[in-house]
């Protein structure tokens, strides 16, 4: 057996290449959209990818099933409950796929989504299972959230009950020594308590995973439907696109460099300018109207909070990273990168009238804010689970993913102070508010963590 796990940290994604060296046959499970690593590794191992298995319709990224099918002729497979707009070979509950000696057994494990499946891997037919690819049904330390399809009419309560049965009747029926390989790790918005570990076992999760502890179905439903992060706005788009025919990713080439006049015209026409430099570089000077989403973090996901899939995007990056920004955005289906700023430092030097700084305030200076300085509105853009640990007194709790949808709750003429946990998301939020016409916005350096360490007052963040 050949087995390789791939980790894409910026989207907390795990994908897999599984093959049989005796036959040269292989499958890829839950691939990311840029697929060269799977093709290169399969070629190096003498394997032919004959099938792409998707454990469900992913909402947090655009999968590479169509790209692999076009490159290799592979079949695309989802669980039998899935409906797609393209040719697909459905997999039934209990179906066995044989690659040679290596076998794959399909388990229907609905709950995170109705069509979710898990794939049990055995090194040879008749042997005890070696591992199980659990998709978003079972994570390390958590289980898949059942609420993402609420907007599409699926009941979170019904899906949670289906998830309970999938876990107890299917996955926990496997031997304790079976290795667990999920589709996501820590940081994913598809759960709330994911571990940084890359693999586990059924027995370890039975003993340590909060959602697998002895409890009634009712208690389980409550446990897995509360405290979830706000789903990024692009999730529905990505899930729909993954079941549809769409253009294949062309990851070659760099975005064309635009003039300042072209950038201005695009912004006036509804485009968004995303500055991928660090928050400190952005604060020292950026093009008016830019939104700061640092490429050192969860760049694509947070771009999905402040841009829309059909919106033209202009990127501004450190030199040489324009193509990377384009590919990372394409991983969530944001394909409308229409150009780049180019050498932003040169542009700012040549057009000082377009250069503006970002305002950042220390926790100490903010704590010393005097009412005589004028009224201020405070915005906490952390996720609900983080906010429950405490908030700065008087803060409005609007998670970053909900910010643009709730922007009318804020007064654009009032001084606005934004904070997150450490300062990355607050720079995104502050620059987004500024780009949407707020007159004076600053974010807190070091965020809530700096505020709390300094011993300044907090108040309970009730659920």
- Whether 202 and 267 map to the same domain: the answer is no
- Whether 151 and 237 map to the same domain: the answer is yes
State which of 356, 378, 399 marks the end of a domain. 356
In a domain, 21, yes or no: yes
State which of 315, 335, 356 marks the end of a domain. 356
pLDDT tens-digit series, residues 301-360 = 999 999 999 999 999 999 999 999 999 999 999 999 999 999 999 999 999 999 999 999
User: Is the model's pLDDT at 226 over the cut of 90?
Assistant: no
In the sheet that 2-8 helps form, which strands lie side by side, from edge to edge?
Answer: 2-8, 13-20, 25-29, 48-53, 75-77
In a domain, 121, yes or no: yes
- Whether 267 and 136 map to the same domain: the answer is no
φ, ψ for residue 119 (rounded to 5)? Answer: -125, 115
The CA-atom distances, in angstroms, between 333 and each of 236, 304, 321, 329 are 11, 10, 19, 7
- The rounded distance, in Å, linking the Cα atoms of 294 and 422 is 13
Please, which residues bridge with residue 15 across strands?
6
- Whether 346 and 368 map to the same domain: the answer is no
- Whether 124 and 57 map to the same domain: the answer is yes
- Whether 307 and 434 map to the same domain: the answer is no
User: Is the model's pLDDT at 191 over the cut of 70?
Assistant: yes
State which of 189, 209, 242 marks the end of a domain. 242
| pLDDT recorded at residue 166 | 98
Residue 200 sits in a domain whose CATH number is: 3.60.15.10
| pLDDT recorded at residue 129 | 97
- Whether 337 and 368 map to the same domain: the answer is no
- Whether 99 and 202 map to the same domain: the answer is yes
Q: CA-based Rg of the chain, rounded to a whole angstrom?
A: 23
| pLDDT recorded at residue 202 | 98
pLDDT tens-digit series, residues 136-184 = 999 999 999 998 875 556 788 999 999 999 999 999 999 999 999 999 9
**What residues contact residue 125 under an 8 Å CB cut-off, 6+ apart?**
98, 101, 103
In a domain, 84, yes or no: yes
- Whether 342 and 374 map to the same domain: the answer is no
User: Is the model's pLDDT at 126 over the cut of 90?
Assistant: no
> What is the pLDDT averaged over residues 435-455?
97
- The rounded distance, in Å, linking the Cα atoms of 143 and 182 is 10
| pLDDT recorded at residue 150 | 55
> What is the pLDDT averaged over residues 211-234?
91
- Whether 415 and 309 map to the same domain: the answer is no
> How many folded domains does the chain comprise?
3
- Whether 370 and 332 map to the same domain: the answer is no
| pLDDT recorded at residue 65 | 98
Reported residue count of the chain is 463
In a domain, 253, yes or no: no
Least confident of 18-27, 352-361, 372-381: 372-381
pLDDT tens-digit series, residues 31-56 = 999 999 999 999 999 999 999 999 99
| pLDDT recorded at residue 463 | 64
In a domain, 424, yes or no: yes
pTM value? 0.94
Three-state helix/strand/coil letters over 124-189: CCCCCCCEEEEECCECCCCECCCCCCHHHCCCHHHHHHHHHHHHHHHHHHCCCCCEEEECECCCCC
In a domain, 254, yes or no: no
- The rounded distance, in Å, linking the Cα atoms of 89 and 93 is 13
- Whether 205 and 279 map to the same domain: the answer is no
In a domain, 459, yes or no: no
What range defines the domain where residue 415 resides? 359-453
Instruction: Please list the alpha-helical segments (H only) found in 331-367.
Output: 344-350, 363-367
In a domain, 204, yes or no: yes
User: Is the model's pLDDT at 298 over the cut of 80?
Assistant: yes
Residue 345 sits in a domain whose CATH number is: 3.40.250.10
> What is the pLDDT averaged over residues 236-244?
95
Q: Closest Cα partner for 459 from 373, 369, 397, 375?
A: 397
Question: Tokens 């959209």 belong to which residue?
Answer: 33
Average pLDDT of the residues of the chain: 95
Indicate the pLDDT class of residue 227, thresholds 50, 70 and 90. confident
């Amino acid at each position: 057996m050949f087995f390789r796990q791939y980790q894409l940290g910026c989207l907390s994604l795990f994908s897999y290449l599984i093959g049989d060296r005796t036959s040269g046959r292989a499958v890829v499970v839950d691939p990311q959209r840029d697929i060269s690593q799977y093709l290169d590794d399969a070629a190096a191992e003498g394997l032919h990818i004959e099938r792409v298995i998707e454990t469900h319709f992913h909402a947090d990224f655009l999968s590479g099933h169509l790209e692999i099918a076009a490159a290799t002729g592979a079949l695309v497979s989802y669980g039998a409950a899935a409906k797609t707009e393209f040719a697909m070979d459905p997999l039934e509950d209990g179906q066995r796929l044989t690659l040679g000696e290596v076998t794959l057994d399909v388990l229907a494990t609905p709950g995170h989504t109705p069509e979710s499946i898990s794939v049990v891997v055995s090194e040879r037919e008749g042997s005890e299972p070696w591992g199980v690819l659990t998709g978003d049904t079972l994570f390390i330390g958590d289980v898949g959230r059942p609420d993402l399809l609420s907007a599409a009419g699926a009941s979170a309560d019904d899906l949670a009950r289906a998830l309970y049965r999938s876990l107890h009747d299917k996955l926990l029926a496997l031997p304790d020594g079976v290795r667990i390989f999920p589709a996501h790790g820590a940081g994913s918005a598809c759960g709330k308590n994911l571990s940084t570990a890359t693999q586990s076992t059924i027995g370890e999760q039975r003993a340590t995973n909060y959602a697998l502890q002895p409890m009634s179905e009712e208690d389980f439903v409550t446990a897995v439907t509360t405290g979830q992060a706000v789903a990024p706005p692009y999730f529905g788009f990505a899930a729909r696109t993954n079941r549809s025919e769409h253009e294949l990713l062309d990851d070659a080439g760099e975005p064309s460099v635009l003039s300042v006049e072209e950038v201005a015209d695009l912004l006036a026409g509804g485009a968004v300018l995303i500055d991928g430099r660090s928050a400190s570089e952005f604060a020292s000077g950026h093009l008016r109207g830019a939104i700061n989403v640092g490429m050192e973090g969860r760049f694509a996901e947070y771009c999905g909070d402040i841009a829309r899939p059909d919106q033209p995007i202009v990127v501004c990056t450190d030199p040489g990273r324009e193509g990377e920004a384009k590919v990372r955005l394409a991983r969530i289906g944001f394909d409308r990168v229409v150009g780049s700023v180019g050498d932003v430092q040169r542009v700012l030097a040549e057009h000082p009238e377009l250069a503006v700084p970002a305002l950042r305030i220390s926790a100490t200076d903010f704590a010393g804010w005097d009412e005589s300085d004028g009224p201020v509105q405070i915005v906490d853009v952390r996720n609900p689970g983080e906010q429950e640990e405490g908030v700065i007194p008087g803060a409005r709790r609007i998670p970053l993913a909900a910010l643009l949808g709730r922007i009318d709750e804020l007064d654009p003429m009032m001084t606005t102070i934004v904070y997150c946990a450490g300062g990355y998301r607050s720079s995104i939020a502050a620059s987004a508010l500024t780009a949407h016409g707020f007159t004076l916005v600053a974010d807190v350096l070091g965020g809530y963590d700096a505020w709390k360490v300094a011993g300044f007052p907090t108040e309970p963040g009730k659920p």
